[in-house]
């Protein structure tokens, strides 16, 4: 469904190298892309895969590759190059258990921070996280849309359990996003490859091979694309790389809300764990515990408005994710001051609905506010960011 | 029309006095002038190092300055895109040094294998000039560099010779001082495929500091390594990547234009003698003689019927790789789909996919399925020893409850915990490759979650040659269920 989403978005170039659990995307693209007027290629390694994609994108083709943690590690150099040169490219990162070779056929949600913070300088990379096959289709389209719209690498962060589970998809119910086409400048007159009107907006795109002279460099550069030592103009362009993402954060935000006005606690999850979380929420409500649920699909930039709206009036917030340290919780906790933020974490297997229910109950998050054990503390005094609450 | 300009006439070359790079950029400009190529049809792709400064010297060409070693791969990407979406014959020219060439060695090898239309100018000055004259993989034996103060003892890499084994079609080695360098570069650019020219030159900053490498001494260095000079012999001409791609597209279009062969009379579903349309599992939910069963659990309740069951059902099917465990599970999911159920399927197998166990976990539910894992198993099927051992190893047996239905092959030697257990000769009766599907059909005989009619569509969707096999497996499973029912009655 990632491949189908890519094709629906007008992806015309794919280069890949097999790696469990991302090989299915590679195989489908190899089978389908030529038939749909594109080109798919087997690269000799992941570094080549992404370099080929970046080269093809500089030429004007919407491009994608797919990999897992070990391949992503090899790609980080070229991800940064794409970011610096404002070259659109989509990377489907289908997570497996790490570190290192880890577990090829074992799911995990451990590459979240690795995906987001892989650039020197900490520039933001948009990251979308699907929890099922339909969302793979929908969020791949989002990934392409924003990659092309903001001329930036975008990560589709899936995982083994999402990527390698066969399930029923209702084609008619799939959300279809009109593909975004880069604004092109082919005129001779424009020779400033990085001419921007404001820090929030991207320069018009000129393809390599077109009639406008293109100057691209991964080094710090001026508006002409020429390598330069830091000057106000160069620094302005570096700031622009970050500002253009931040300025469109609200537009990029995709979440699924299932809020209960009577709830005193909120469960947040994403990717594969969101499925168990939704089931856990159903069980808790069936047992008479009011609870709100927020599935975050745009992990980065963090959908702050949706988060604050869901967290309003809430005492305890649980973040359920299949990793050791609560990676996303560490990102959300500083945004939720005055609230208790607890993690439900696990390593080596999917978190089950029962485990989430247990963790929520054990932490007392669903006890009416007045009776909550933590009430003896001053409001806001208890905030457990690191450490594990459950599972 | 005025003659195109390549190297700016007033270009101030940023290289050290006597550096070979200066000669190369002038010869490249001369080569482009000789070919009279439109400047916008060239993309100069430069690597890291002093060689990477060249992009700023060609103000009319497209230029892409890359990360270290990746210039060849980015150029390959652009050339591939030019094949898929031609922009009027874009030609990437890569300018790379010995450091970039070894960092990106695989990119050079693969570009040669693909025979993609790029030209690589490999500037070999035998060491890393920009960073202070360190040893490179191309440093000659006996050279003194800042990192081989006691002389280099590692044999250098002969890149053109290496790329010949990758089927490169155009390979040459020249000196930067060669008067015919421009014509060799021009020939390389005009070559319709991968071309590499290794240009031997000196780094006056570091190369000649401690080594004899000026003038004729450089030629001696090269001949001591046994390197060939000039154009090299390469194999017979090969198709370019572009030609190969266009052939692939044409053959694809031809396949699409050809209608599929008409279904032979014999392979039509309707003509099957298998009980396809009248495929009846022998026991219906209401008639199953529950009270008469001799099963260890007295209150034997079948919780599901095709029309009624309202909760998620977890099945685990385990067997041996190559015995159609996962494909049988997939058929069940498709049948469930026809019966209006949601399904998910997850497979597992050892790293080597063709040996050891093979496992499929299935959820079936009348509602969309959220959690796809198994909290407690409703049905566990093991049709081989491999499968059973894996269920034990992966903890699945811990998820077996008193109400779990266990269907295991009679040949299994392992001791099976008592419970709602059926030991049946699936392998013997149905053959090992049909055992998993026969076990599924047996289960559906007991618990008709998916009606027989749902299999019609599944059978119809299969290639004709697979249908008899699948129908036979279903028939045997149903037969075993009927026998079991009769015996129990």
ipTM of the complex as predicted = 0.91
pLDDT, residue A188, reads 54
Instruction: State whether A168 and B256 contact (CB < 8 Å).
Output: no
pLDDT, residue B264, reads 53
- Per DSSP bridges, beta strands A292-296 and A265-269 are parallel
CA B121 – CA B456 distance, rounded (Å): 63
CA B335 – CA B477 distance, rounded (Å): 15
A54 touching B (Cβ < 8 Å): yes
Task: Write out the two tokens for B354.
Answer: 């063709």
If we measure between CA atoms, which residue out of A57, A21, A279, A305 comes closest to residue A166?
A: A21
pLDDT, residue B257, reads 80
Give the pLDDT band of residue A368 (cuts 50, 70, 90). Answer: very low
pLDDT, residue B184, reads 98
Domain count, chain A: 2
A81 touching B (Cβ < 8 Å): yes
Whether residues A293 and A147 share a domain: the answer is no
pTM equals 0.90
> Over A53-85, what HEC string results?
HHHHHHCCCCEEEEECHHHHHHHHHHHHHHHHH
Q: Among A173, A207, A233, which residue terminates a domain?
A: A173
Residue B367 carries which DSSP code? S
With DSSP H G I counted as helix, E B as strand and the rest as coil, what are the percentages for chain B, rounded to 5?
Answer: 40, 20, 45
Cβ–Cβ contacts within 10 Å for residue A379, how many?
A: 10
Q: Is residue A233 part of a domain?
A: no
Residue B409 carries which DSSP code? E
Instruction: State whether A15 and B77 contact (CB < 8 Å).
Output: yes
Task: Write out the two tokens for B74.
Answer: 């980015």
What is the end-to-end Cα distance of chain A in Å, rounded? 31
The alpha-carbon gap from B429 to the nearest alpha carbon of chain A, in Å, equals 30
Instruction: State whether A276 and B371 contact (CB < 8 Å).
Output: yes
The alpha-carbon gap from A58 to the nearest alpha carbon of chain B, in Å, equals 7
Q: Is residue A288 part of a domain?
A: yes
Domains and CATH numbers, chain B: 20-245 (3.40.50.970), 275-488 (3.40.920.10)
Give the burial class of B130: count Cβ atoms within 10 A of its Cβ; 0-12 exposed, 13-18 middle, 19 or more buried: middle
CA A72 – CA A110 distance, rounded (Å): 12
Q: Among A173, A208, A223, which residue terminates a domain?
A: A173
Q: Is residue A309 part of a domain?
A: yes
User: Cβ distance B188 to B134 under 8 Å?
Assistant: no
Rg of chain A's alpha carbons, rounded to an integer? 22
Quick: pLDDT tens for A39-55: 999 999 999 999 999 99
Whether residues A45 and A156 share a domain: the answer is yes
pLDDT, residue B255, reads 83
pLDDT, residue B310, reads 62
As beta bridge partners, residue B379 has B315, B405
Q: Is residue A239 part of a domain?
A: no
pLDDT, residue B198, reads 98
Distances (CA, A) of B196 to B93, B188, B232: 10, 7, 11
Q: Is residue A164 part of a domain?
A: yes
Whether residues A16 and A159 share a domain: the answer is yes
Q: Is residue A125 part of a domain?
A: yes
Q: Is the pLDDT of residue A369 over 80?
A: no
- Average pLDDT for residues A66-93, to the nearest whole number? 98
As beta bridge partners, residue A292 has A266
- Per DSSP bridges, beta strands B357-365 and B342-348 are antiparallel
User: Cβ distance A257 to A294 under 8 Å?
Assistant: yes
CB nearest B373 (choices: A38, A41, A352): A352
A178 touching B (Cβ < 8 Å): no
CATH number at residue A259: 3.40.50.920
Q: Which of A208, A273, A281, A282 to mutate to test the interface with B (most CBs of B within 10 A)?
A: A208
Nearest CA in chain B to A211: B40
Give the pLDDT band of residue A186 (cuts 50, 70, 90). Answer: low
pLDDT, residue B465, reads 92
Cβ-based contacts under 8 A for chains A and B: 185
Q: Among A142, A173, A204, which residue terminates a domain?
A: A173
- Average pLDDT for residues A235-255, to the nearest whole number? 97
pLDDT, residue B355, reads 84
pLDDT, residue B271, reads 35
Q: Which residues contact B417 (CB under 8 A, 6 or more apart)?
A: B397, B400, B406
pLDDT, residue A386, reads 40
Rounded to the nearest integer, the mean pLDDT of chain A is 90
The alpha-carbon gap from A336 to the nearest alpha carbon of chain B, in Å, equals 28
Q: Is the pLDDT of residue A134 over 60?
A: yes
Whether residues A162 and A258 share a domain: the answer is no
Helices (H), chain A: 2-8, 23-32, 46-58, 69-85, 112-116, 133-150, 160-163, 232-247, 249-252, 271-286, 304-311, 327-332, 353-362
CB nearest A13 (choices: B65, B84, B344): B84
Q: Is residue A314 part of a domain?
A: yes
- Inter-helix orientation angle B467-488/B454-461, to 10°: 150
Whether residues A30 and A152 share a domain: the answer is yes
Q: Is residue A237 part of a domain?
A: no
User: Which chain B residues have a beta carbon less than 8 Å from that of A162?
Assistant: none
Whether residues A12 and A128 share a domain: the answer is yes
User: Cβ distance A124 to A175 under 8 Å?
Assistant: no
CATH number at residue A28: 3.40.50.970
CB nearest A276 (choices: B70, B75, B370): B370
Q: Give 10-residue mean pLDDT values along chain B (489 residues).
A: 72 90 95 94 97 92 97 98 94 97 98 98 95 94 95 96 97 97 98 97 89 89 93 94 93 79 48 36 34 28 42 93 95 91 91 85 94 92 94 89 91 78 94 96 90 86 91 93 83
User: Cβ distance B204 to B19 under 8 Å?
Assistant: yes
Q: Is the pLDDT of residue A195 over 50?
A: yes
Could you list the residue range(s) of the whole structural domain that residue A88 is in? 2-173
User: Cβ distance A329 to A343 under 8 Å?
Assistant: yes
Whether residues A145 and A259 share a domain: the answer is no
Q: Which of B370, B390, B396, B450 to mutate to test the interface with A (most CBs of A within 10 A)?
A: B370
């Amino acid at each position: 469904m990632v491949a189908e989403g890519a094709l629906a978005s007008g992806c015309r170039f794919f280069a890949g190298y097999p790696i469990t659990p991302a090989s299915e995307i590679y195989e489908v693209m190899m089978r389908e892309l030529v038939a749909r007027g594109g080109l798919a290629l087997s690269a000799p390694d992941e570094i080549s895969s992404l370099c080929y994609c970046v080269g093809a994108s500089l030429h004007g083709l919407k491009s994608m590759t797919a990999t897992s943690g070990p391949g992503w590690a090899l790609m980080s150099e070229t991800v940064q190059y794409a970011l610096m040169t404002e070259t659109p490219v989509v990377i489907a990162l289908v997570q497996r258990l790490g570190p290192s070779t880890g577990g090829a056929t074992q799911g995990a949600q451990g590459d979240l921070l690795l995906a987001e913070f892989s650039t020197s300088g900490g520039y933001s990379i948009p990251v979308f996280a699907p929890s099922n096959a339909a969302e793979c289709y929908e969020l791949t389209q989002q990934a392409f849309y924003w990659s092309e719209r903001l001329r930036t690498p975008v990560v589709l962060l899936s995982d083994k359990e999402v990527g390698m589970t066969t399930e029923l998809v209702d084609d008619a119910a799939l959300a279809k996003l009109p593909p975004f086409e880069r604004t092109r400048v082919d005129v001779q007159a424009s020779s400033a490859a990085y001419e921007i009107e404001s820090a929030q907006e991207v320069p018009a795109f000129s393809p390599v091979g077109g009639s406008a002279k293109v100057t691209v460099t991964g080094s710090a550069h001026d508006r002409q694309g020429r390598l330069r030592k830091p000057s106000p103009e160069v620094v302005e362009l570096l700031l622009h790389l970050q500002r253009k993402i931040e300025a469109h954060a609200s537009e990029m935000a995709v979440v699924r809300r299932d809020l209960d006005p009577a709830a005193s606690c909120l469960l947040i999850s994403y990717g594969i764990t969101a499925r168990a979380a939704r089931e856990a929420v159903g069980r808790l409500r069936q047992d008479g515990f009011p609870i709100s649920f927020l599935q975050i699909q745009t992990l980065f930039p963090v959908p702050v408005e949706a988060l604050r709206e869901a967290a309003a009036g809430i005492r305890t917030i649980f973040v359920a994710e299949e990793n050791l340290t609560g990676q996303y919780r560490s990102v959300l906790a500083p945004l939720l001051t005055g609230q208790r933020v607890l993690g439900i974490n696990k390593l080596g297997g999917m978190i089950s609905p029962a485990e989430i229910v247990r963790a929520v109950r054990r932490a007392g998050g669903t006890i009416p506010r007045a009776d909550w054990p933590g009430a003896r503390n001053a409001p806001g005094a208890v905030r457990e960011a690191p450490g594990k609450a459950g599972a | 029309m005025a003659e195109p300009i390549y190297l700016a006439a007033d270009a101030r070359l940023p290289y050290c006095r006597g550096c070979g790079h200066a000669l190369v950029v002038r010869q490249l400009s001369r080569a482009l002038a000789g070919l009279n190529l439109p400047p916008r049809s060239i993309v100069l792709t430069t690597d890291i190092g002093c060689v990477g400064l060249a992009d700023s010297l060609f103000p009319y060409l497209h230029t892409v300055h890359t990360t270290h070693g990746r210039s060849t791969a980015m150029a390959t990407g652009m050339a591939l895109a030019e094949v898929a979406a031609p922009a009027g014959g874009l030609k990437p020219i890569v300018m790379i040094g010995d450091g970039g060439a070894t960092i990106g060695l695989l990119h050079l090898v693969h570009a040669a294998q693909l025979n993609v239309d790029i030209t690589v100018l490999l500037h070999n000055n035998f060491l890393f000039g920009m960073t202070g004259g360190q040893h490179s993989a191309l440093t000659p034996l006996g050279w003194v560099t800042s990192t081989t103060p006691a002389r280099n003892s590692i044999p250098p890499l002969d890149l053109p010779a290496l790329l010949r084994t990758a089927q490169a079609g155009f390979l040459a080695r020249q000196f930067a001082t060669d008067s015919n360098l421009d014509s060799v570069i021009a020939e390389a650019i005009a070559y319709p495929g991968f071309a590499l020219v290794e240009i031997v030159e000196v780094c006056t900053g570091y190369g000649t500091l401690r080594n004899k490498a000026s003038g004729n001494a450089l030629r001696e260095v090269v001949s001591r390594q046994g390197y060939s000079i000039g154009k090299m012999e390469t194999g017979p001409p090969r198709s370019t990547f572009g030609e190969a791609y266009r052939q692939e597209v044409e053959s694809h279009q031809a396949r699409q234009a050809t209608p599929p062969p008409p279904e032979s009379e014999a392979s039509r579903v309707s003509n099957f003698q298998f009980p396809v349309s009248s495929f009846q599992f022998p026991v219906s939910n209401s008639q199953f003689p529950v009270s008469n069963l001799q099963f260890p659990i007295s209150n034997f309740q079948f919780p599901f019927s095709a029309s009624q069951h309202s909760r998620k059902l977890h099945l685990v099917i385990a067997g041996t790789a190559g015995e159609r465990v996962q494909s049988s599970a997939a058929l069940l999911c498709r049948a469930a789909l026809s019966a209006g159920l949601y399904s998910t399927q997850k497979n597992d197998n050892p790293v080597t996919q063709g040996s050891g166990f093979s496992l499929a976990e299935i959820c079936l539910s009348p509602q969309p399925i959220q959690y796809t894992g198994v909290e407690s198993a409703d049905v566990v099927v093991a049709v081989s020893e491999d499968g059973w051992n894996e269920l034990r190893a992966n903890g699945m047996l811990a998820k077996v409850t008193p109400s779990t239905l266990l269907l295991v092959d009679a040949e299994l030697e392992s001791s099976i915990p008592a419970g709602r257990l059926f030991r049946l000769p699936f392998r013997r009766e149905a053959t090992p490759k049909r055992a998993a599907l026969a076990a599924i059909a047996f289960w559906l005989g007991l618990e008709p979650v998916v009606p027989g009619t749902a299999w019609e569509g599944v059978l119809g969707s299969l290639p004709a040659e697979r249908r008899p096999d699948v129908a036979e497996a279903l028939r045997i499973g149903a037969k075993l269920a009927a026998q079991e029912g009769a015996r129990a009655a």
